[in-house]
Amino acid sequence: MTPPPTHTHAAIVSIGDELSLGQNLDTNSRWIAEQLSILGIMTLEHVTIGDDQADTARTFARLAERTGLVISTGGLGPTLDDLTRQALADILGEPLITDADALRDLETRFTSRGRTLSEIQKIQACRPASARMIPNPNGTAPGVHAVVPTPRSTFPHADIFCLPGPPGEMKPMFAASVVPALRPAPGRTVRVRFIHMTGVGEGDAAAALGPLMDRNRVPLVGITASGGVLTCRIRYEGPLPPDAVDALIEETAVEIRRAIGPHIFGEGGLSLVGAILNELVSRAATLATVESCTGGMLGQLITDVAGSSAAYVGGFVSYANEFKTELVGVDPVTIAQHGAVSEATAREMAIGGLRLTSASYALSITGVAGPGGGTAMKPVGTVFIGLASRAAPDQAVVRRFFMPGPRDDVRRRAVTSALSMLLFTLRNPGARMRLLWEQG
């Protein structure tokens, strides 16, 4: 059988009761869609289903007809609720056979670790007769690639790639074995460009963009909010040559920059943390953090970026009040008079971060993340963010925010707002820009 001549669209399927029942969060689909988008292949649909053979087969068949390219994760493990291979065999109308090479690899993997291969594990060396195995260097379950007939489509066949669920296994397999097998469309151009902004609400940004967001516009402009960062998406898909598309997209980007102004902090894969690290590194400056209600989330987000050690010295998770006073140097009188969640405490936390480390800047966060702990004067969601700089350590700036939503949202928004505050200060030292969720 021959696969479809080109891959222009795709669908992604995540398989597992733990996902459909909401016990675990699927992060694979997002990652795969992003990778496909880079290749110019548009993902039309992600589907998550349980460990059900008939449902898997039905979903594979529907999406193969719709898109010509289906990538699944999950259901390839050794246990009896792993049924992806069987579903693939069902739509092919073929038996499962044992792949001799895969079985040998599996045996080698087990014996080299002093373990013996159990019967239950051997299912991982099976595939539908016409399919091929996809090697898995980081785990026991290989993937499977099959070409299935699509009689109701304009193309005669579709590719289905089945990968295991653990991201540490799936991602290297996708890069090494799926990407080289894909055939993005010739003669067709797909481009997506992202422009990121922070400290501004979605409605205000949309009002500023106005007719740029018309649904019939080419290229299309969309907007999305995620935890305080807003992203404008400029997207083109059509017959124009790449150069013309790039020019068209650049024209739109210019209009967006004109409409939004200094709230824009970067483009493409640049995160808010990445923008800050660039600013810090370019002036040989460093950062320390002093966190209370966010409990390490700010440090974690910064150190998510490999290479953050160039500008991040470290931080304090001053969760208990004694930690704030004894280790960060907040005056116990300040906490007694103003409370741990106060402008004064945030200021002393930031100044303490500077005094204790060699950092050029120190960011502090203290707030009421909830669900308990709120008062009439300081309801759940109240957060104070402090920023002190080595150049003028006594002039630490503190801003008060009200973050809507439950505990996790309050914490995430506090972290984003702290990063926004630092970035605006680095880029526009004189200006006073009001931030989203800022009070007073």
Q: Which of residues 199-258 bind a second copy (CB under 8 A)?
A: 202-203, 206-207, 213-215, 220, 222-226, 231, 233, 235
Give the three-state DSSP class for 113. Answer: coil
Q: Which of 84/147 has CB closer to a second copy?
A: 84
Amino acid in position 341: V
Select from 177, 357, 389, 416 the one that contacts a second copy (CB under 8 A): 357
Check binding of 24 to a second copy (CB under 8 A): yes
Cross-strand pairs, 312: 287
Cα gap 438→141, rounded to integer Å: 50
Question: According to CB under 8 A, which one of 54, 254, 320, 391 is a site residue for a second copy?
Answer: 320
Is residue 111 at the binding interface for a second copy, with CB under 8 A as the rule? Answer: no
Task: State which of residues 4, 15, 29, 361 lies at the interface with a second copy (CB under 8 A).
Answer: 29
Minimal distance in Å, beta carbon 369 to a second copy? Answer: 8
Cα–Cα nearest to 348, from 358, 362, 367, 359: 362
CB of 215 vs a second copy, minimal distance in Å = 5
In the complex, the smallest distance separating the C-beta of residue 429 from a second copy, rounded to whole angstroms, is: 25
In sequence order, what are the residues at sequence separation of 6 or more whose Cβ sits closer than 8 angstroms to the Cβ of residue 299?
289, 291, 312, 314, 315, 317
Instruction: Rounding to the nearest 10 degrees, give the CA dihedral for residues 256, 258, 259, 265.
Output: 70
CB of 1 to a second copy, least distance (A): 28
CB neighbours of residue 17 within 10 Å: 16
- In the bound state with a second copy, the residue whose beta carbon lies nearer, of 312 and 424, is 312
- What number of helices (H) and strands (E) belong to the chain? 14, 17
290 Cβ contact list (under 8 Å, min separation 6)? 315, 316, 318, 328, 349, 350, 352, 353, 362, 363, 364, 365, 386
- Mask 34-53, x = binds a second copy (CB under 8 A)? xxxx----xxxxxxxxxx--
| Interaction between residue 121 and a second copy (CB under 8 A) | yes
In angstroms, what CA-CA distances link 2 with 71, 101, 148, 187, 351? Answer: 18, 24, 9, 21, 67
Which tokens go with 9?
């669209």
Q: Give, as ranges, the residues between 278 and 307 that touch a second copy (CB under 8 A).
A: 289, 291, 293-300, 302-304, 306-307
Residue closest to 414 by CA, chosen among 386, 373, 376: 386
Site for a second copy in 387-416 (CB under 8 A): 404-409
Residues 325-344 that bind a second copy (CB under 8 A): 327
Q: Is 319 in the site for a second copy (CB under 8 A)?
A: yes
Give whichever of 79 and 98 is closer to a second copy, judged by the CB atom.
79
Q: Which is nearer to a second copy, 156 or 172 (CB)?
A: 172
Considering only residues 164 through 183, tell me which ones interact with a second copy, judged by CB under 8 A: 166-169, 171-172
- What residues numbered 360-389 form the site for a second copy, per CB under 8 A? 369-372
Nearer to a second copy, 2 or 439 (CB): 439
Q: What contacts 162, CB < 8 A, 6 or more positions away?
A: 72, 73, 75, 76, 84, 85, 88, 134, 143, 144, 145, 146
Site for a second copy, residues 64 to 103, rule: CB under 8 A: 77-81, 83
